[in-house]
Structure 1
Amino acid sequence: MKVTIGIKALNEAAHIEASVRSALAAVAPLGGRVVLADSGSRDATTDIARPLDVRVVQLADPGDASCGAGAQLAYQYAEGEYFCLIDGDMTLVPGFLEAGLAYLEVHPDVAGVGGEVIERNLSTLEFQIRAAAVRDEAHRREGLVDRLDGGGIYRMAAIRQVGYFSDRNLGSFEEFELAARLDAAGWKLARIDVPAIEHSGHSGSSYPLLLRRLTSGQLSGAGQVLRSALGRRQLPFVLTRLKHVRAAMTIWAWWCACVACGVFAPLALPALLLGPCAFLVWRRGSLRLGIFSFCQWNLVAVGIIAGLLRSRVPPDRPVPAVELSPQSKP
């Protein structure tokens, strides 16, 4: 078997059929399988997927649900030389799998390869900011990169060397954390100039979605990544490459300055409070985007503290699961 495509999902009934069918079409000419790793969906996600030629597995305890646990669950059922991970609201663009595998075949020092991620839902402020930021992010460009945000194809031998695919504790940044371990082990990552994934993304009101990311633990992911790196070889990579940690340190210092200013120089407090928000309005070129970005970064700073304090399960411990629909052998 050449490749397994893993799809991690939670309540993705609106998108899961398109995601699964795109994965099945991608593996058909290559020899491979598709695994749907469900984190305890309460909608029809698994009911839609089970009649398809896909292996459906689900967390035994929905309380274990996280982005990291879903990705690791998919990997636990992977077979073959390569593993491709996508989300349940993503579809694979025809041709990417072949192009990515061809790249890996001729670059044995590369552990994983990604392509262009196309954002299809720009209805929320978060995704508007994300789409604009993509243009300035070095890891989104063609060539060697330091991470594969948004899914990619990984060499199974490299994953086995670093112990596990995804830290099951993480609410986000699971591919960044994997990249940190791969870098520490001497592996490279690359992005090719090929359309790879179309991402539908979450819809709905921007601020309720932001609060849901905080309460679900997604905004604690950077803190968990930092905690997992303490005392390990990947710590310098995390400290220098994860901008959320650096931004949180700046915000924590600003909080302290606001408290001190309120005590010792209250007349200067309004300017200190409004300054960061005004800067973000200018940088985003929009009042709405600037105010949302200000709220988002403050909640990220809160989330990182929560991530640093959150209890952890050993990341290499298998994720308990039940199998809902075994895929037949080819």
Structure 2
Amino acid sequence: MTTRELPHTRPARLTVVIKALNEEGRIALAIESALRAVQHIGGEVVLADSCSTDRTVEIAAAYPIRIVQLAHPDERCCGAGPQLGYQHALGEYVYLMDGDMELLPGFLDRALAFLAQHPEVAGVGGRVVERNLESLEYRERAARERLEPHRVPGPVDRLDGGGLYRRCAIQEAGHLSDRNLHSYEEFELAVRLRARGWKLWRLPIDAVAHVGHETPPYKLLMRRWKSGYICGSGELLRSALGQPWLRLVWRNQREIRLYLGVLAWWAVLLTVPLWPMEWPLRAGALTALALAPVVLMSLRKRSLARGIYAVVSWCFNAAGLVRGLLHARKPTTEPIASRVLREPGGPGLSGRGAPGGASPGGAFRNAPLPPSPPSAHRS
């Protein structure tokens, strides 16, 4: 069936929303870890699928979860997936994770206890354990994350990598994620919450393990360009224009300032041929200015390959910022058109037929939904 929004008929204490696109190799682990986590808490698991073309939905249908899917594949983006799942979530608390993650035991219990003791906190996260350090992209990410303040336990300005949020805080902020964003969706939620006085916190415990896709770094850049992921910084900046949280975006999102600096670097390079000097001097100045960032980054990272990749990545992202600023926006208050493919206690896939082939194993295959308490819980 096609729906705009699922009627909320049965309260649950907590909903784990798993957003996925073509995760057939990892989705079973993500679902089983989420079901284990909510089994004794009282909750549900919702798979928000962005029109996967592999066996992701077929595999997920073997589990007692709600499966919802975008009605229009052209609406795929990082911001649409979480909001789609939230539209169909019943929990008073909502935990967001990716389809290539594993929710680690004990985190949700600690997070719920922390929120119960700190009513001023809207959301709480934990550490993200990166398990794919073979790729240059993920090695670079892991190196950056060790230095990022919002990865340190304590009060933070965002919850990258997933977090547990109060529904009442999300409702006050208007929506879970901006359907127009191809990236930075968790940061955008954070600034909306913080602008309303809410706080965010990171606990000193492991929350999820993440296994990113093993893609060569330059191929990954091209994939992100084609998918629009690389446009997220511009889309984020545009979404904040005229809003009370614009100052927070500018102050806390250093990548935007970096990419604007790259655009300024390009502008200087374009003016060099017009400089009033002999052409050999202009050629030398152009070469020096063009190579200076590569040399500096190679020295900083102690690797020519990493230095070149850093500068190329900057250039892609700077171009993406411009693309994102020019993207048209849809109203964030308008529900995302979707299909409900499966309910936890219902039959197989609605409108898709029963899943074929071998079904995944695991303790939760075809198991009943963990019970929900008779009334919703709120701290």
Q: TM-score, normalised by structure 1?
A: 0.98
1:116 paired to 2:127 = yes
Residue 16 of structure 1 deviates from its aligned partner by 0.2
1:309 paired to 2:326 = yes
1:322 paired to 2:339 = yes
* Counterpart-to-counterpart distance in 2, 1:106 and 1:69: 31
Residue type at the aligned position of 1:231: G
Structure 2 unaligned spans of 5+: 1-11, 276-281, 346-368, 372-379
1:1-330 matches, cutoff 5 A: 1-264=12-275, 265-328=282-345, 330=371
Residue type at the aligned position of 2:295: A
Residue 64 of structure 1 deviates from its aligned partner by 0.4
Residue 293 of structure 1 deviates from its aligned partner by 1.0
Residue 278 of structure 1 deviates from its aligned partner by 1.1
Tell me the alpha carbon deviations over residues 170-229 of structure 1, each in whole angstroms, 9 at most, x when there is no partner: 000000000010011110000000100100011121111111101101011111111010
* Counterpart-to-counterpart distance in 1, 2:249 and 2:262: 18
Residue type at the aligned position of 2:23: E
Are the equivalent residues in 2 in contact too, given 1:40–1:58 (CA < 8 A)? yes
* Counterpart-to-counterpart distance in 2, 1:161 and 1:213: 32
Tell me the alpha carbon deviations over residues 110-142 of structure 1, each in whole angstroms, 9 at most, x when there is no partner: 000000000011122111100001111000001
Are the equivalent residues in 2 in contact too, given 1:147–1:179 (CA < 8 A)? yes
* Counterpart-to-counterpart distance in 2, 1:106 and 1:283: 43
Residue 248 of structure 1 deviates from its aligned partner by 1.0
Residue type at the aligned position of 1:39: S
Tell me the alpha carbon deviations over residues 159-180 of structure 1, each in whole angstroms, 9 at most, x when there is no partner: 0001100000100000000001
Query: Deviation above 3 Å: which 4+ runs of structure 1?
Result: none
1:204 match: secondary structure: coil
Residue type at the aligned position of 2:300: R
Structure number with greater CO (CA < 8 Å, separation at least 6) is: 2
* Counterpart-to-counterpart distance in 1, 2:201 and 2:237: 23
* Counterpart-to-counterpart distance in 1, 2:70 and 2:139: 32
Are the equivalent residues in 2 in contact too, given 1:15–1:88 (CA < 8 A)? yes
Specify the structure having the higher radius of gyration (Cα). 2
* Counterpart-to-counterpart distance in 2, 1:254 and 1:239: 19
> Percent sequence identity over matched residues?
48
Residue 51 of structure 1 deviates from its aligned partner by 1.2
* Counterpart-to-counterpart distance in 1, 2:273 and 2:217: 31
Q: Which segment drifts farther, 77-86 or 20-29?
A: 77-86
* Counterpart-to-counterpart distance in 1, 2:304 and 2:342: 49
Residue type at the aligned position of 1:293: A
* Counterpart-to-counterpart distance in 1, 2:317 and 2:106: 36
Higher helix share: 1
Q: Which segment drifts farther, 149-158 or 284-293?
A: 284-293
Are the equivalent residues in 2 in contact too, given 1:167–1:316 (CA < 8 A)? no
1:194 match: secondary structure: strand
